[in-house]
């Protein structure tokens, strides 16, 4: 007679499954999800080092996003190409890899920057509906834990983790769409108000200046009239890209609307902002944009600047002053930068 309890999952393990599912679905923040995965890995398997690698789609490389245990420093800056080493093999094949004797496996020997004392490895793909997003690696697990039950437990963790990661990525993409301008790829005006409000408060509390450049392309309507709206949209997109390239890492670029752009320069006073804007303006006007149809176009722009706290202290006032100075440039010949 078969024992009724044979094959049943212990109640304590069911409770772990429940906690895992709740933890991974309670947040759409990727860093929180990765920490949760790592915490559950540590609870399920006793080992010397636990790590989680994420796949960077653009480069098709894996990087160590989070790790716990010894010798983490050897992994921090390591990049693993798909197909290379243990993690690269797992992503390429989409399969779990268990190496009980590391010295006998060429994939372990091929691991650049591997922990010096790797004896065994468990590596599992984080594979969801949209492909493989990363790899779970466990180095030197206790031999008695390399059981079918433990591996099955880890597969459940990996499946839940992959779904949570996909959900977090989807939410991040949706949030990015709500703050991004479709034509140029720059941030939109709604995000400008959010960022400018925060930066004004931050700079004010730290007694730091903040400058804003309001930029309007001169006679842009002629581009649409002469070449059509498709070329006009392409030129707007190329202009936005060029503005981003010419700005500093700490600056923010926005499409305000139509052919108007805003560049926000945190911790930048009026004198420095005028110099920055003049250099940017000069480089922009010297840029030759080759359109998809082969023609070359250039743009001219009028720019107005305003600085907090010298000119204004509030969001709408600083935008209004920069806008008014931009229009003053347009009224006096266009193609210049005005800071006062």
- Residue ranges of the domains in the chain? 11-177, 189-338
Residue with tokens 């902002």: 273
Give CB contacts under 8 A, 24+ apart, made by 119-122: 120/146, 121/86, 121/97, 122/45, 122/96, 122/97, 122/98, 122/146, 122/151, 122/154
Q: What is the pLDDT of residues 183-192, one digit of tens each?
A: 999 999 999 9
- Domains 11-177 and 189-338 alike in fold: no
Q: What is the pLDDT of residue 155?
A: 87
Provide the whole-model pTM.
0.61
Domain covering 11-177 in this structure, CATH number? 3.30.450.40
Q: What is the pLDDT of residues 246-263, one digit of tens each?
A: 999 999 999 999 999 999
Q: Which whole number is the average pLDDT over 204-225? A: 95
Residue 1 has pLDDT above 50, yes or no: no
Q: Which whole number is the average pLDDT over 210-220? A: 96
Q: What is the pLDDT of residues 91-115, one digit of tens each?
A: 999 999 988 887 777 887 667 655 5
Domain covering 189-338 in this structure, CATH number? 3.30.70.270
| pLDDT > 70 fraction of the chain, expressed in percent and rounded | 88
- Evaluate whether 208 touches 306 at the Cβ level (below 8 Å): no
Q: What is the pLDDT of residues 70-88, one digit of tens each?
A: 666 667 678 889 988 889 9
Assign 286 a pLDDT band (cuts: 50, 70, 90): very high
Q: Which whole number is the average pLDDT over 217-246? A: 95
């Amino acid at each position: 007679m078969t024992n009724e309890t044979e094959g049943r999952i212990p109640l304590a393990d069911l409770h772990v499954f429940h906690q895992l599912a709740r933890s991974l679905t309670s947040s759409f923040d990727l860093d929180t999800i990765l920490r949760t995965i790592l915490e559950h890995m540590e609870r399920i398997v006793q080992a010397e080092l636990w790590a989680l690698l994420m796949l960077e789609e653009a480069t098709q490389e894996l990087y160590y996003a989070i790790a716990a245990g010894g010798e983490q420093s050897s992994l921090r800056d390591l990049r693993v190409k798909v197909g290379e080493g243990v993690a690269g093999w797992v992503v390429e094949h989409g399969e779990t890899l268990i190496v009980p004797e590391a010295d006998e496996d060429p994939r372990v020997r091929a691991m650049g920057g591997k922990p010096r004392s790797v004896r065994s490895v468990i590596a599992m793909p984080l594979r969801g509906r949209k492909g493989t997003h990363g790899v779970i690696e466990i180095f030197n697990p206790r031999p008695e834990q390399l059981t079918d039950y433990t591996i099955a437990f880890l597969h459940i963790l990996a499946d839940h983790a992959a779904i949570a990661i996909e959900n977090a990525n989807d939410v991040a993409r949706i949030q990015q769409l709500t703050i991004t301008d479709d034509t140029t790829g720059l941030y939109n005006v709604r995000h400008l108000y959010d960022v400018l409000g925060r930066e004004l408060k931050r700079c004010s509390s730290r007694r730091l200046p903040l400058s804003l450049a309001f930029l309007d392309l001169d006679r842009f309507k002629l581009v649409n009239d002469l070449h059509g709206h498709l070329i006009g949209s392409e030129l707007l997109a190329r202009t936005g890209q060029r503005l981003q390239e010419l700005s500093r890492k700490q600056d923010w670029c926005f499409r305000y609307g139509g052919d108007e752009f805003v560049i926000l320069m945190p911790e930048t006073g009026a004198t420095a902002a005028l110099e920055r804007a003049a250099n940017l303006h000069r480089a922009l006007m010297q840029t030759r944009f080759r359109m998809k149809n082969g023609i070359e176009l250039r743009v001219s722009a009028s720019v107005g600047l305003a600085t907090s706290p010298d000119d204004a202290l509030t969001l709408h006032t600083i935008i209004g002053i920069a806008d008014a100075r931009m229009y003053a440039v347009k009224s006096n010949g266009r193609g210049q930068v005005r800071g006062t």
